[in-house]
Amino acid sequence: MSVRETWIVGAASNRFGRMKESAREAATRVSLEAIRSAGLEPKDIGHTFVSNAFGIAEHQAHVGPLINGGLGIPDVPSATIESACSSSSAGLHEAIVHVGGGFEDAVLVVGAEKLSHLDTLAATSYFAIAADYPFETKNGATFPGLYATLASAYEHHYPTKPEMLGSVAIKAHANGARNPHAHFQKEISMDTYLGSPMIASPLRLYDCCPFSDGAAAVVVAAKEFVKKPALEPLVVRASVRTGSVTEMQDRPDLLGLPATRNAAAKAFRQAHLEPSQIDFLEVHDCFTIAELFALEDMGFFPKGTAGAASLDGVTVRDGKLPVNPSGGLKAKGHPVSATGASQVVEVFEQVNGLAGSRAVPKTETALTHNVGATGGSCSVHIFSRR
Ligand SMILES: CC(C)(COP(=O)(O)OP(=O)(O)OC[C@H]1O[C@@H](n2cnc3c(N)ncnc32)[C@H](O)[C@@H]1OP(=O)(O)O)[C@@H](O)C(=O)NCCC(=O)NCCS
């Protein structure tokens, strides 16, 4: 773990959904909000890690220096970090390494994406290049199709009722309805879920995250640099990145994601904690089945049982283990590169009493989990109060 105690001292997000501004403009604005929320100024930032995995959709690469220019710090170094849907949590890991290792005192992490000017076919095609292009994408595979394959394998192996997946979606929408940052702020019923169109069997419309625009930023700083934080900081207890076989055809089984299993095991070791000590989670629920995978792979529930636990209400806001109080990727939305940072924004807001009616009962320790594509990469972070 890091040599210096490292904190998350500021965080900000816009409302996910459809943005008028470009990813670059939104990232700059949200970055400034995050820096100011930390009681800092842009000149305090020593490095920025910027994620914009599908910047190509706006004909813009190398966006980091442009964002730094907009912040008035053009001389500060910036690196663009791409790890598909886990891009900004990969950036967060780099920031923690920089600060913890003593290379910088304060580092900005920002992720942004804009795709709403594309139709579903074009957006799906862009996203699908994050899969195995020659074997999967070129042969027509898309992310809804790939996750449907995982869901089918799971259903074949473990008794799974559609209502189990439905309960994940209903809980996500109930939380999203209380989150001003969320793309969808509308509750849904089981009837609405079951009556929604099949997208890729067994996944229905409400099993899928939407295409969202959005931007989210966090500021990572050394405890000794901040001294008097403006808001209650998150102490970084674990920061882990893992990789795994991306090609689905080469995996030993399709009943979970090895990258998640390995990341969580390592994170719990780093933090000297176990799953029972985590108060709430933000997990990668790009499709409802992904939430069940995450909860089982990280050891919160035995394999094949997370669906029943979800249907029993264990993961709702005031349940035994609140999962995705933000609304998750399903309802808060999934602007790919902003997602990892936005999970930390949620933890920061919960810990600082800024979560309003979606507040969870206990906020001592939280975990964030963010997956790249179908599990080729994964990040797990654990935070606690001072
Ligand atoms: C599910 C999906 C195919 C729906 O796309 P679509 O059928 O073209 O839907 P549209 O954009 O035409 O929207 C139609 C309506 O459904 C709603 N909608 C779209 N996607 C939705 C979703 N995922 N959940 C709930 N509602 C959704 C829209 O808001 C719209 O509602 P309105 O008529 O009240 O305005 C698309 O959202 C999708 O592919 N999602 C997955 C994205 C993805 O793969 N991300 C990467 C994950 S690894």
Q: Is 205 in the pocket of ligand 1 (CB under 6 A)?
A: yes
- Tokens (6 digits) for 321: 């283990």
Mean pLDDT, residues 242-262 taken together: 95
Mean pLDDT, residues 200-209 taken together: 98
Return the percent helix, strand and coil in the chain, to nearest 5.
40, 20, 40
Q: Is 176 in the pocket of ligand 1 (CB under 6 A)?
A: no
Identity (one letter) of the amino acid at 222? A
Judging by beta carbons within 10 Å of its beta carbon (0-12, 13-18, 19+), is residue 61 exposed, middle or buried?
exposed
Catalytic annotation, pick one of 85, 208, 209, 378: 85
Mean pLDDT, residues 9-15 taken together: 98
Judging by beta carbons within 10 Å of its beta carbon (0-12, 13-18, 19+), is residue 273 exposed, middle or buried?
middle
* Residue 2 clears pLDDT 70, i.e. is over it: no
How many whole angstroms from 207 Cα to the centroid of ligand 1? 10
Mean pLDDT, residues 322-345 taken together: 98
Q: How far apart are CA 52 and CA 217, in angstroms?
A: 12
Percent of the chain with pLDDT over 90: 98
How many whole angstroms from 205 Cα to the centroid of ligand 1? 7
Q: Is 199 in the pocket of ligand 1 (CB under 6 A)?
A: yes
pLDDT at 301 (0 to 100) = 98
Whether 284 is a known active-site residue: answer no
Of 112-121, 133-142, 206-215, 372-381, where does mean pLDDT reach its minimum?
A: 133-142
Q: For atom 15 of ligand 1, which residue has the closest CA?
A: 205
pLDDT single digits (tens) 181-199: 999 999 999 999 999 999 9
Whether 117 is a known active-site residue: answer no
Nearest to 201 by CA among 250, 155, 164: 155
How many whole angstroms from 209 Cα to the centroid of ligand 1? 7
Q: Is 85 in the pocket of ligand 1 (CB under 6 A)?
A: yes
Q: Is 208 in the pocket of ligand 1 (CB under 6 A)?
A: yes
* Residue 83 clears pLDDT 60, i.e. is over it: yes
Catalytic annotation, pick one of 98, 181, 334, 369: 334
pLDDT at 227 (0 to 100) = 83
Mean pLDDT, residues 204-211 taken together: 98
How many whole angstroms from 49 Cα to the centroid of ligand 1? 30
Domains and CATH numbers, the chain: 6-118+211-226 (3.40.47.10)
Q: How far apart are CA 381 and CA 298, in angstroms?
A: 12
Q: For atom 16 of ligand 1, which residue has the closest CA?
A: 205
Percent of the chain with pLDDT over 70: 99
Q: How confident is the model at residue 3 (pLDDT cuts 50, 70, 90)?
A: confident
* Residue 378 clears pLDDT 60, i.e. is over it: yes
Share the mean pLDDT of the chain. 97
- Left (φ > 0), alpha (ψ -120 to 50) or beta: where does 272 sit? left
How many whole angstroms from 177 Cα to the centroid of ligand 1? 17
165, 211, 287, 334: residue to mutate for ligand 1 pocket, most atoms within 8 A of CB: 211
pLDDT single digits (tens) 93-137: 999 999 999 999 999 999 999 999 999 999 999 999 999 999 999
pLDDT at 367 (0 to 100) = 99
Compute CA distances 186 → 66, 170, 215, 219, 280, whole Å. Answer: 36, 10, 21, 30, 22
